[in-house]
Amino acid sequence: MKKYVLMAVLSLGLIGQSAQALTLDEARGQGRVGETLTGYLAPITQDKDTLALVKKINNARSESYQQLADSNNLPVDEVAKMAGQKLVARALPGEYVKGLNGKWLKK
């Protein structure tokens, strides 16, 4: 069951990001944003464009996580954490992730 939920989380997360994929990829590559274990994107720089992108991506992720949680009778934070673990694990070299200690790490 969790494997199915995790696959669905990742696919819905990608769908939510597809409209902004180039911008998100650029922001990741420029070190402006990073993935967290909570399942949400976090800003590293605090400029207007970065903050707007983070808000947009996180709103889409939140909606996806809620739908998956509802359809699988799971708490939404559990779904988000499963997604966060996968998103951090698949971050590319040079991208930032937030570690358990709360500090940014460059992969």
What is the per-residue pLDDT across 54-69, written as a single tens digit (0 to 9) for each?
Answer: 999 999 999 999 999 9
Indicate the number of domains in the chain. Answer: 1
Residues 26-45, mean pLDDT to the nearest whole number: 96
C-alpha distances (whole Å) from 42 to each of 32, 62, 70 are: 9, 13, 25
In terms of residue numbers, what domain contains 16? 2-106
Look up the pTM and report it.
Answer: 0.78
Cβ contact 69:78 at 8 Å: yes
